[in-house]
Amino acid sequence: MTPEEFRVAAHELVDWIADLRLRVTDLPVRSEAAPGEVRAALDGPAPELPEPFAELLADLDRVVVPGITQVQSPGYYAWFPSNASLASVLGDMASSGLGALGITWQSAPALTEVEEVVTEWLRELCGLAPEWRGAIHDTASSACLVAMLVARERATDLSENRGGLQAEPVPLVVYASSQAHSSVPKAVLLAGFGRDNLRLVDVDPVTFAMDPDSLRAAMASDVAAGRRPAAVVASVGTTGTTAVDPVPEIVEIAAEHGAWVHVDAAMAGSAMLLPECRAMFAGVDGADSLSWNPHKWMGTVLDTSLLYVRDVAHLVAVMSTNPSYLRSAVDGEVTQYKDWGIPLGRRFRALKLWFHLRLDGAEAIRTRLRRDLENARWLAEQAQQAPGWEVLAPVALQTVCLRHVPEHLRGGTAVDLDALDAHTLDWVERVNASGRALVTPALLAGRWMVRVSIGAETTERRDVEQLWALARSAAEEEGA
């Protein structure tokens, strides 16, 4: 495709994107595609000859748009927000158009140094201590794996340079709360620690935050049995209920054993932009690593996850490679992000953060986050006042955990919990099948609840009001 052919098609595509964002409100939030339906609609032999651009645009409308959850819709309350702010989309377009190759500083100095600029901007905006240094990763899953690897190597004094993990005689143990995201156990297992050496520490039954006494006891028990605490993952904003683990205590307890502390703030990290939310992050400056995802609530388009560490020298010691074809005269003076994570090659992802922050400005982002916090508080208040409705966890951020107990399941008699589960799954399906909103059912203490995760960029108070009416109607009228 020539630049002039690109110009024509790309102008069409820009209008298609702008129009899509305007009409997203009218699209069903949930995709109703059946398994295999998209594939069947698009399958066939690989294209040998060029097709007209119009056919691709038509397929986007015919198959792709109905085939995705509209996470940019004001009716999107599922999982967590996944905003793709249009300012960041511009940055991503610039990145793709430039086609820069990030393998070393030398291959694209600007790719590296813009990443330094934006990670430093976000450190400042988040109120983190000056010694933190950040890099962009794809997801918090990868960031957590990196954290577990560097924790493993700190605990073993770089066993990777000797006989590896098998040659280490003292079993290493990792701790996280039972509410930690599924990527945490995955990272622990992939890093080689083994499930037997992962302790899922009890949480407070009301706040769902890690119980520090249980952490202390678990570590003491492991040490008594000849094992060594290597790392603790503290969740600030769990996936289930946005619970906040007690980081100051965790840092103190971990320090007694020399264990690495990784803070997983994938969702909640955006709240560090708000000074009034910083109390949630008390103690994080005492941790060793911290990850959060601008691609969630803050809204820099996927994939934009940040991993900050304080001891860059150790990170680089674990991750570095230095083959001759990647050496240059300036290696000692510059940042080589290839040595800060798993991939060698990187696209110019810093541009999407750079465009997002410069074109929207931090203040507008803060205003939007505050709107969402207020909307969540409003929804929680409505639920607390409505008969039969329960708010199941503290509303620390923008996610409200709800359950509706129909009248025949209320009262002094033993509640039929299976019936309650069925009722929950029933009304949530009615909400989601409406196409007007999407919320996520999840298990909390073994029973189904409904997470309403407010924070799509387009979601205003009137949308939350409509959702609340929809939920009441779905739960109260049918389930009564």
State which of positions 237-276 bind its own copies (CB under 8 A): 239-240
Encoded tokens for 236: 């600030």
Candidate list 226, 275, 323, 411; residue touching its own copies; CB under 8 A: 323
Q: Which is nearer to its own copies, 172 or 405 (CB)?
A: 172
Q: Which is nearer to its own copies, 251 or 420 (CB)?
A: 420
Encoded tokens for 273: 């932009």
Query: Tokens 């289930």 — which residue?
Result: 240
Sequence-ordered list of residues with C-beta below 8 angstroms from that of 407, at least 6 positions apart, any chain = 388, 480
Q: Which is nearer to its own copies, 114 or 253 (CB)?
A: 114
Stretch of residues binding its own copies (CB under 8 A), selected from 187-195, 368-376, 390-398, 408-416: 187-195
The rounded distance, in Å, linking the Cα atoms of 315 and 334 is: 15
The answer to whether residue 207 forms part of the interface with its own copies (CB under 8 A) is no
Candidate list 129, 161, 258, 445; residue touching its own copies; CB under 8 A: 161
The answer to whether residue 316 forms part of the interface with its own copies (CB under 8 A) is no
Question: What H or E segment, with its residue span, contains residue 391?
Answer: strand 389-391
Are the C-beta atoms of 180 and 238 separated by less than 8 Å? yes
The rounded distance, in Å, linking the Cα atoms of 227 and 198 is: 12
Candidate list 65, 220, 282, 312; residue touching its own copies; CB under 8 A: 65
Pattern 83-122, its own copies, x by CB under 8 A: xxxxxxxx-xxx-xxxxxxxx-xxxxxxxxxx-xx---xx
State which of positions 380-439 bind its own copies (CB under 8 A): none
| CA count, 13 A, side-chain hemisphere, 21 | 14
Ordered DSSP codes for 71-136: TTSTTB-SSS-----HHHHHHHHHHHHHT--BSSTTT-HHHHHHHHHHHHHHHHHTT--TT-EEEE
Candidate list 133, 152, 262, 403; residue touching its own copies; CB under 8 A: 152
Q: Which is nearer to its own copies, 235 or 382 (CB)?
A: 235
CB of 199 to its own copies, least distance (A): 13
State which of positions 445-464 bind its own copies (CB under 8 A): 448, 451
| CA count, 13 A, side-chain hemisphere, 79 | 13
Pattern 329-368, its own copies, x by CB under 8 A: -x--xx-------xxxxxxx--x--xx-xxxxxxxx----
End-to-end CA distance of the chain: 60
CB of 194 to its own copies, least distance (A): 2
Stretch of residues binding its own copies (CB under 8 A), selected from 132-140, 204-212, 246-254, 384-392: 132-140
CB of 480 to its own copies, least distance (A): 25
Are the C-beta atoms of 263 and 287 separated by less than 8 Å? yes
Candidate list 27, 29, 74, 82; residue touching its own copies; CB under 8 A: 82
Phi, psi of 231 (to 5 degrees): -160, 150
